[in-house]
């Protein structure tokens, strides 16, 4: 139920804001609005105010604003309050208002989320220096070593770890060219990326140059008895360096009842601690919760707004770049998500709290706004493209030509919907089990 309610909330807000943009700009330009609908299909709620029917329809995957004289085939009286009676500039403003409202919503919501503050991994904005490699990983197979600094992936600069994770993440199961610095040398290697998680995020098995930090100690546990404290950094277990919290968990899992030696950095002083894991929940545990090093992030309202603008610009650029990678085959269409995946993410975010839910809403709103601007007939960007072409040709296209363009856009959009729905279904284990070609 949480998943359904969260999904309807997120989708409802995004659709409402998008259609509100079209509605407000249409009214501002003096166009008569006949219908403002959230959803498609049969109406389950309808209220009429003036010339406009405000309704909620049964299929929640979209919405529309119907304007008087909107299409050439619509009955027209030549009145000045009809859409096609307006100039191309006025029609352009009405068309672009929907995507613009989604982008504006993303900017505002992001600023609100940022103002709440959070903890972020300390290495996110640090240089992409390799601190460890997963055994048998693509990076290890390609000869990448600890201490190497990755400079670029497939031509995309990776000055920070956040940039590296993103550049690899959008390229699962691909041969990618990686440029790295090793001492004074600059080397080029080719790595076949792997994929992880149900969304097939690209990975090469590299880890940042960090060590796990103890964030809590269980009272009465072996860790407490050994003198371990919150804030201690675990450098190694039995002489083997630990990088991620999972390394520490794995190092103790099969050592129940066997003394182990931890190398600890405590208040700037390195020391050695002996501790014996206890058997709990079927594995060895010493009674600590490890985490990656984090930093507190609490911007002022002005800083939050400035950062929101920067992130919106960066996010928009990334969306266009990802579309380009999809068209070139560099990115995998398996990463595209449809309504089922969005519903799953909405439910997971809602369970974590309103801040993660609103952060997700911001990301989806930006994607919705930008993708609606793509020059694909049927989308707002497609209608804007037709307007632009008519302006260049200095004449309006015939109904037949427009119908062909819109049909081409509909076919493309239909193929995209099939792709994302197929992706969604393959992420549901019991449905994937019914697909023999996936096993």
Is residue 185 among the annotated active site residues?
no
**Three-state SS at 77:** coil
d(CA 58, CA 54): 14
d(CA 93, CA 432): 44
What tokens appear for 224 in the block? 């407490």
Buried b (16+ CB within 10 A) or exposed e, 205-227: bbbbbbbbbbeebeeebbbbebe
**Three-state SS at 128:** coil
**Three-state SS at 434:** coil
Q: Name residues whose C-beta falls within 8 Å of residue 199's C-beta, 6 or more positions apart in sequence.
A: 335, 337, 341, 427
d(CA 92, CA 373): 12
- If one counts every other C-beta atom within 10 angstroms of the C-beta of residue 396, the result is 15
**Residue among 19, 70, 82, 200 flagged as catalytic:** 19
Q: What is the DSSP letter of 129?
A: B
Task: Give the residue among 344, 392, 342, 332 at the shortest CA–CA distance from 363.
Answer: 342
Q: Distance between alpha carbon 13 and the CA centroid of its chain, in Å?
A: 18
The residues assigned a catalytic role are 19
């Amino acid at each position: 139920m949480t998943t359904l309610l969260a999904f309807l909330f997120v989708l409802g807000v995004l659709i409402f804001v998008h259609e509100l943009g079209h509605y407000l700009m249409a009214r501002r330009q003096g166009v008569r609005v006949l219908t403002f609908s959230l959803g498609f299909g049969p109406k389950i709620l309808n209220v009429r105010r003036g010339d406009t029917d405000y309704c909620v329809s049964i299929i929640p995957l979209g919405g529309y604003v119907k304007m008087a004289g909107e299409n050439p085939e619509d009955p027209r009286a030549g009145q000045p309050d009809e859409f096609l009676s307006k100039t191309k500039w006025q029609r352009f403003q009405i068309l672009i208002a929907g995507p613009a409202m989604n982008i504006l919503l993303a900017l505002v919501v992001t600023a609100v989320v940022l103002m709440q503050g959070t903890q972020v991994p300390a290495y996110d904005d640090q240089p992409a220096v390799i601190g460890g490699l997963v055994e048998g990983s693509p990076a290890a197979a390609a000869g990448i070593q600890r201490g190497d600094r990755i400079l670029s992936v497939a031509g995309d600069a990776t000055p920070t770890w956040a940039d590296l994770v993103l550049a690899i993440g959008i390229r699962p199961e691909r041969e990618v060219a990686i440029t790295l610095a090793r001492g004074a040398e600059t080397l080029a290697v080719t790595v076949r990326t792997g994929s992880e998680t149900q969304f097939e995020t690209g990975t090469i098995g590299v880890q940042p140059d960090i060590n796990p930090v103890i964030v809590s100690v269980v009272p009465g546990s072996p860790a407490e008895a050994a003198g371990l404290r919150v804030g201690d950094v675990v450098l190694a277990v039995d002489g083997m360096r630990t990088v991620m919290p999972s390394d520490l968990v794995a190092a103790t899992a099969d050592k129940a009842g066997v003394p182990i030696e931890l190398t600890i950095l405590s208040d700037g002083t390195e020391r050695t601690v002996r501790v014996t894991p206890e058997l709990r929940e079927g594995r060895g545990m010493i009674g600590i919760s490890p985490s990656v090093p984090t930093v507190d992030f609490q911007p002022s309202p002005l800083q939050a707004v400035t950062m929101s603008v920067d992130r919106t610009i960066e996010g928009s650029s990334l969306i266009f770049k990802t579309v380009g990678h999809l068209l070139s085959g560099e990115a995998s269409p398996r990463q595209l998500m449809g309504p089922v995946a969005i519903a799953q993410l909405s439910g997971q975010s809602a369970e974590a709290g309103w801040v993660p839910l609103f952060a997700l809403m911001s990301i989806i709103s930006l994607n919705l706004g930008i993708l609606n601007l793509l020059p694909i007939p049927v989308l707002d960007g497609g209608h804007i493209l037709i307007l632009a072409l008519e302006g260049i040709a200095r004449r309006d296209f015939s109904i037949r030509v427009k119908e062909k363009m819109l049909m081409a856009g509909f076919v493309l959009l239909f193929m995209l919907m099939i792709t994302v729905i197929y992706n969604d279904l393959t992420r549901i284990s019991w449905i994937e089990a019914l697909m023999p070609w996936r096993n």
